Structure 1
């Protein structure tokens, strides 16, 4: 018997949690004037990714679960735009580890969505 909550066994959840942690670590280096600007938006978007997966897993039915997977994907897309802006502003670099984590999370969320869409 597997232990842990269902969402905690998902690779998409694990990678999105690692991504959220990396975003927090990265934005901690942003200038003070970004504390309530871009850094907070990036953090909220990053936290929304695993949070929506968790909420979807706790709901009843495939349709609701798919809705929350879609919300996770939307938050991930928001975070991507915010990361691109952070690079443009010179706040981070395009080779920051969060980009690789996000790429992996996109693939995992897409796979999860496809799996539940055909269920």
Structure 2
């Protein structure tokens, strides 16, 4: 069985981001709290994209895409904190921020595509 979300660029990019974050979290000096929070936020992105695509109703789909977008935003300050703590380089910070910006825009568009026309509800 093929899963339609696996063909979405936003899903593929979220998996790449999650994999990159997972390798960063193995570095020394990261507290358990930061590791746990960033790991969960990064993992939430592809999981909510997948779950949203499994929903029948546009409103349900849209909600999961907004949650995924919220997780993108949650990753931003965590990346910044890791940079301040010198666990990430400035270049890594910029790369992650660029990836997050793209993911955020893609998820916004995906959620907008699934807007519900409230005038008919």
User: What TM-score does the superposition give when structure 1 sets the normalisation length?
Assistant: 0.87
Provide the aligned length of Structure 1 versus Structure 2. Answer: 115
Corresponding residue for residue 29 of structure 1? 27
CA distance in 2, matches of 1:108, 1:30: 32
Deviation by residue 1:23-66 (Cα, 9 ceiling, x = unmatched):
001111132x62x2201211110000000111111122000000
Deviation by residue 1:8-33 (Cα, 9 ceiling, x = unmatched):
111111111110001001111132x6
Pick one of 56, 64, 69 that aligns with 2:65.
Answer: 69
Corresponding residue for residue 114 of structure 2? 116
CA distance in 2, matches of 1:30, 1:9: 35
Corresponding residue for residue 46 of structure 1? 42
CA distance in 1, matches of 2:28, 2:114: 38
**Structure whose alpha-carbon radius of gyration is higher:** 2
Q: Indicate the larger mover: 97-106 or 36-45.
A: 97-106
Root-mean-square deviation (CA, aligned residues, Å) is 1.8
Segments of 5+ residues of structure 2 without an aligned counterpart are none
Corresponding residue for residue 17 of structure 1? 15
How far does residue 118 in structure 1 lie from its aligned partner after superposition? 6.7
